[in-house]
A and B are shown apart, each in its own frame.
Chain A
Amino acid sequence: MQNYYSGLTISLILHLGIVMSFANFFQIDLLYSVQKFDPMPVYLIYEKSEAVLREKKVNKIKKVVSKKIIPSPKVIQISSSKTELVNIEIEKTLLSKERSQLELINVVDEISLYSNRIKDQVMVNWKPPALSNFEFKSELIISLVPTGEIINVKISKGSGNKAFDRSALAAIEKVGRFDNLDMRRKLFDEHFRNFTLVFSPRD
């Protein structure tokens, strides 16, 4: 009997997991995909220059703070107008939503900025073997410390060609330490402490 229940529970949990991931409950791809956002805020953001955008963000945060203060004399206002309070609440949620989206976009920007810096430093040091077959691909897992120093390299998916894999390892060895990775600690811990480098030359 016990076996029956455990089997059922496992299957239920698995199905739940699948359904949840279909419903995008975990939001795995949200971080990496700009298309997932509502079109409106993205459109606005691309219209303005970055400097303006930053200012706007700061203003909005201030507003939120000031509006948070307003509800403190609640006692007086409750009787006068309930609707206003509701409005404030709605505005508050809208603002916080917008803010979180802004933050997300910044994270995407930051990730791509530092990814490109890493990419450039690897490219300069990589000498792929001369192969007529352009479909080789190997994946390396890189472990960094916050200074950018590479502390561990591991081939997670070999290309099948020993020389090709070796050229990728040699490139990492030559880099030794990634420069200009002056990022927030949280971003580093979440994305750059361990990441995958894919070596796949294109024709």
Chain B
Amino acid sequence: MNFRIIFFLFISIIFSAATFSHLKIEITEGSQNPIRIAIVPIGWNLDNPSRGYLHQMVSSDLESFGEFETLTPQDMLSLPRNEEEVFYRDWKLLDVDYLVVGTASQGEVPEEVSVSFSVIDVTREKTLRRSISSGSINYLNSLAHVMSDRIYEEINGIPGIYSTKIIYINKEGSSNGKYHLRLADIDGQNDLALFSSYEPLMSPDWSSDGKKLAYVSFEEGSSKIYIQELYTGNRKGLKSEGGINSSPNWSPDDRYLSAVLSKAGNPDIYIYDIKENSWKQLTDHFGIDTEPDWSPNGKKIIFTSNRSGSPQIYEMTVSNGKIRRKTFEGSYNARARYTPDGKSFVFVHRMDNLFHIAVQNLRTGKLRILTDTSLDESPTISPNGNVIIYATKNQGENILAGISYNGKTKFILPTDLGEVREPSWSPILKQSRSTRLF
């Protein structure tokens, strides 16, 4: 009896598989319109008057890379302060995809503002997230950045980058002007000099925990690599090895620095063990090896070498020293940086004697040129992989410019500081000022 049931089951399985000719339709492209989001003016339940409008700051944050389209309060049909006051019909009429409503109130300490806000999916009539973000009333801008990060993360599924920072090298206008290592918000605001010197400063790089910086300084006459703690300002020079000391780059666990030394005669890649205070040679070739970058998993290092006769990108497996050439198009490819997922790298690519920022997939080798400016250098990629900032020339002046990874949105970071170059993007900086409730 049992046997018959099993027999029947298997027969039916075989025949159901046979008749299961299921139709699959593949959607490879979405609408070209950006996501429409409405940031309703935040209700203000404080005695202190506000000096700025949070909803405006958040809206302009979200619009900055072209991923979102925001509504002004004049376009809105109602101005709800909390979820209960939301009428979905109003927002569906305006073709809004997401809605943010919230109220600001006095924080636990004076001068502190606490904003409780909700991110609502209008299409599916559902609240996605409730959060409380707090910050100083005097720095509403950074509070807005934190809120934008949370909203971005909820909608796009990857971290927002509005409260990340960049460091870059700046030289004052005159010929004997000072060099500065500067820290700024990614929109160029809240600029701050971290270190200044009359001798050149070069190649700054963030540690993976965002607390330390490494850079090259010529303050002692020759090039030397320094590590500086961001919050204390303490600096320490690494044991100098004579010749060139350049291009420091932190390993993902912050235990090592990869850098370029020329103590053996020509520039090669070395690894510096921070605990042991010692150097270990990684590449050994009579060509120039330079500009190393660790892969996000720490297993590989990508670098530029002219061993084939022209500068090209190579990738090395750290554990066994195996090297593979990665770029074959064009006669100049340099300054590679891994994308955060480790699947691609951005680099400087020369085409028709113009230098562009390009991106190449490591597995498929497919190359895509991102920028249409001409003298682009030192790209640095945002920690969520969606935006690239690079140095370029605009009417003869060195400036910083940015482009979204999909190539659709371009922007320039305004500065009146003279020459700016070699930007380096911070990792996502840890913040305890925002709590997720739901």
Tell me the A residues contacting B by CB distance below 8 Å. Answer: 2, 5-6, 9-10, 13-14, 17, 21, 25-26, 28, 31-32, 111, 115, 118-119, 122-133, 135, 139, 161-164, 166-167, 169-171, 173-174, 191-192, 194-203
Contacts and interface: CB of A to CB of B under 8 A. Distances in A.
B2 A198 contact: no
B343 interface: yes
B97 interface: yes
Given A13-B14, A161-B157, A167-B30, 18 more contacts: A14-B10, A17-B14, A21-B18, A26-B18, A118-B25, A125-B31, A129-B155, A130-B67, A131-B158, A132-B339, A132-B340, A132-B384, A170-B123, A192-B23, A195-B24, A196-B22, A197-B25, A202-B28
Contacts of B67: 130
A163 B154 contact: yes
A124 B19 CA distance: 32
A133 B27 contact: no
A123 B30 CA distance: 5
B31 A124 contact: yes
B186 to A, nearest CB: 16
Interface in B363-389: 366, 368, 384-386
Given A21-B18, A129-B157, A201-B29, A196 B10 contact: no
A28 B21 contact: yes
24 contacts: A2-B2, A2-B3, A6-B3, A9-B6, A13-B10, A13-B14, A26-B17, A28-B18, A32-B21, A115-B25, A119-B25, A119-B27, A123-B30, A127-B30, A127-B35, A131-B157, A131-B158, A132-B158, A132-B384, A132-B406, A133-B341, A198-B24, A202-B28, A203-B368
A126 B27 contact: yes
A132 B27 contact: no
Contact of A127 (B21, B33, B157, B385): B33
Interface in B3-52: 3, 6-7, 10-11, 14, 17-31, 33-35
Contacts of A174: 123
B25 A123 contact: no
A125 B123 CA distance: 11
A127 B27 contact: no
Nearest to A28: B21
B53 to A, nearest CB: 25
A167 B428 CA distance: 25
B23 A191 contact: yes
Residues of B in contact with A, size category: 35 or more
A5 B404 CA distance: 65
Contacts of B155: 129, 163
Contacts of A126: 27, 30-31
Q: For A6, A21, A26, A133, which residue has the most chain B Cβ atoms within 10 angstroms?
A: A133
Contacts of A9: 3, 6-7
A164 B157 contact: yes
A90 B155 CA distance: 65
Contacts, number: 137
B348 to A, nearest CB: 19
Interface of A (DSSP majority class) = helix
A196 B25 contact: yes
Interface in B301-355: 339-341, 343
A10 B25 contact: no
B280 interface: no
Contacts of B83: none
B176 interface: no
Contacts of B35: 127, 129
B405 interface: yes
B97 to A, nearest CB: 6
B124 interface: yes
Nearest to B29: A123
B121 interface: yes
Interface string B67-79: 1000000000000
B156 interface: yes
A191 B25 CA distance: 11
A198 B25 contact: yes
Contacts of A128: 30
A13 B27 contact: no
A32 B128 CA distance: 40
Contacts of A123: 27, 29-31
A161 B157 CA distance: 6
A55 to B, nearest CB: 30
Nearest to B24: A196
A45 B34 CA distance: 44
Contact of A132 (B3, B33, B154, B385): B385
A201 B30 contact: yes
Interface string B90-110: 000000010000000000000
Q: Across the A-B interface, give the 3 residue pairs with the lowest CB-CB distance, nearest first.
A: A163-B157, A132-B385, A26-B18
